[in-house]
Amino acid sequence: MNGGKSIDLADIEAARTLIAPTIHRTRTERSASLSHKMGVPVHLKLEHHQRTGSFKLRGATNAVLNLTDAQRAQGVVGVSTGNHGRGLAYAARQNGVRCIICMSELVPQNKIDGIKAQGAEVRIVGRSQDDAQVEVDQLVIEGMTMIPPFDHPNIIAGQGTIGLELAEDLLDLTTVLVQLSGGGLISGVAAALKARLPNIKVIGVSMERGAAMYQCQKAGKPMIVPELATLADSLGGGIGLDNAFTFGMTRDLVDDIVLVSEAEIAGAIRHAYWQENEIIEGSGSVGIAALLSGKVTPDGPTALLLSGGNIDMALHHRIIGGEDVDVTAED
């Protein structure tokens, strides 16, 4: 690939073998409601049922299991909007490794509590992931190993195991909708799927407010994008100006990117609850939002990822009750 590092199918298959004892092989289920609305089979990959409540455990486990003995002894540190921190904390505790997670003030309290419950130390720094990264950099100087949330080969390979499972579960799959934030998830999933199903169309879905990778792809290079309050808070944060893997992999492997509004995200959370009997967070709902809004019109068997379910339940109650929740006003 031109202009960036990459991982391949062999890396992803190796990750699957390594993480298999720790993670769940989550179910892929047909959505009767969405299949009827779209006129084609639509399947949901229930990754919000993963241990720790999101897909992030896959990459975090692969990264921790690839540490050297010396790195394990010094401990790991990460910057997170919530789900990576929870996954990394769980993987570290399972392997007896000290873990510190740094995050910004924008991260919801329920996600902070979830990380602390896994035994990690949490440090709140500034109002963006870039601010939190400064604290991480200092801890690395002191000897800890940083495990980033997306731009790391072991993280990407771990997330890519979802693509292997989709390819095995849905042999006739033509389109997949994948959350797009820093690009670790979509890079891994796309690499796996396009190796197994070469004609598949991979569509990234992000939120209109602060869609960093989308803006960087439009600009043709990594750039600083302001982080904004959104119901899809797990998709927030920049991609890093020194991005080594995911900018190039997203450019080369992703066929299209669509953005969904806050109202469309809320509508998708409601749909998941009332029509699919699933409780998902805002970021987990964006694939549903893209279909219901008509921003993606699939022409064959389609899969979308319910990537996480770690939503504040008071907020979820307000949304499913029909309230027009404006997180920008509450910020």
| pLDDT tens column, 193-242 | 999 999 999 999 999 999 999 999 999 999 999 989 999 999 988 899 99
Q: How far is CA 246 from the centre of its chain?
A: 13
pLDDT digits (tens, 9 = 90+) for 97-120: 999 999 888 888 888 888 999 999
Pair 296, 258: CB distance under 8 Å? yes
Specify if 1 maps to a domain: no
Identify whether residues 23 and 99 lie together within a single domain: no
pLDDT digits (tens, 9 = 90+) for 38-93: 999 999 999 999 999 999 999 999 999 999 999 999 999 998 867 899 999 999 99
Identify whether residues 45 and 62 lie together within a single domain: no
Band of the pLDDT at 331, cuts 50, 70, 90?
Answer: low
Domain edge (last residue) among 117, 146, 175: 146
Say what the pLDDT of residue 114 is: 87
Tokens 């979308």 correspond to what residue? 304
Say what the pLDDT of residue 2 is: 39
| Strands 28-30, 42-45: pairing kind | antiparallel
- Total structural domains in the chain? 2
Q: Flag whether pLDDT at 152 surpasses 90.
A: yes
Q: In angstroms, rounded to a whole number, what is the distance separating the alpha carbons of residues 303 and 282?
A: 18
Say what the pLDDT of residue 3 is: 52
Specify if 164 maps to a domain: yes
- Alpha-helical (H) ranges within 79-175 are 83-94, 109-117, 129-141, 153-169
